[in-house]
A and B are shown apart, each in its own frame.
Chain A
């Protein structure tokens, strides 16, 4: 496989469920990102990891819990979500975290909260 792979592609869950989103990159990159994309809103950066260490948390509610066990894998653990959390969640990776580093995106997980 090549690029950035996200699973599952679609997820429907109730507000009391616990689920996890998975992201894997096959590009040899060192940095990984989670974004939230909602309809009619700009792309929102949630978390940044560089060499497995979290370097950014953009005031994301604690019901979203990221995990980065190594530079190739990134998870987003979800619990007690709200209806407004329904969105497309995108994972991205880049070689480094400098401003000249383009990010490579997965196809996202479409999350629907019942």
Chain B
């Protein structure tokens, strides 16, 4: 069965610092992986998607993620944090088999930005 684990329920960084949000996946088949952001009082917004075309995936708002099969990881990074990046971030994996119509979401990591 597919699953994702997000390490750290809360991450705090200073404005201008590197953002690193960690995600490890478990999958019985080559995975499709996603990162979403949920800004205050909004729904989830797709940041980027991995579909095996390239291991380094560039997304919107300066975010990128690197797929590492050997580490079963798909960590999200941004070189320089902005105050507007404060949000909840969800890693997700596409389902398989009888769950192929599902996206399985992680429990989320709340990102806070210090001035």
Q: Please list the residues of chain A having a beta carbon within 8 angstroms of any beta carbon in chain B.
A: 4, 6, 31, 42-43, 45, 48, 50, 55-56, 90, 92, 97-108
B101–chain A nearest beta-carbon distance, Å: 4
- Nearest CB in chain B to that of A94: its residue: B103
- Nearest CB in chain B to that of A104: its residue: B46
A56 close to B44 (CB less than 8 A) = no
Give which listed residue, A97, A102, A104, A108, contacts B100 with CB less than 8 A.
A97
Given A42-B107, A43-B90, A102-B49; A97-B43 close (CB under 8 Å): no
Mind listing 10 A-B residue pairs with CB under 8 Å?
Answer: A50-B101, A56-B101, A56-B102, A98-B94, A99-B32, A99-B100, A99-B103, A101-B94, A103-B103, A106-B43
**Residues in A whose Cβ lies below 8 Å from that of B32:** 99-100
CA distance A83 to B7 in the complex (A): 31
Q: Does B70 contact A (CB under 8 A)?
A: no
**Residues in A whose Cβ lies below 8 Å from that of B89:** none
Give which listed residue, A6, A90, A100, contacts B94 with CB less than 8 A.
A100
Q: Does B61 contact A (CB under 8 A)?
A: no
CA distance A105 to B37 in the complex (A): 11
Give which listed residue, A6, A43, A55, A90, contacts B101 with CB less than 8 A.
A55
Number of A-B contacts (CB under 8 A): 55
A43 close to B94 (CB less than 8 A) = no
Interface residues of B: mostly helix, strand, loop or mixed? loop
Give which listed residue, A42, A45, A48, A90, contacts B43 with CB less than 8 A.
A90
A48 close to B34 (CB less than 8 A) = no
Give which listed residue, B45, B95, B105, B108, contacts A99 with CB less than 8 A.
B95
B75–chain A nearest beta-carbon distance, Å: 19
Find the residue from A48, A55, A56, A102 having the highest chain B CB count within 10 A.
Answer: A102
B106 close to A42 (CB less than 8 A) = yes
Given A99-B96, A102-B49; A45-B44 close (CB under 8 Å): no
- Nearest CB in chain A to that of B102: its residue: A45
**Residues in A whose Cβ lies below 8 Å from that of B80:** none
Given A45-B102, A48-B101, A97-B100; A102-B46 close (CB under 8 Å): yes
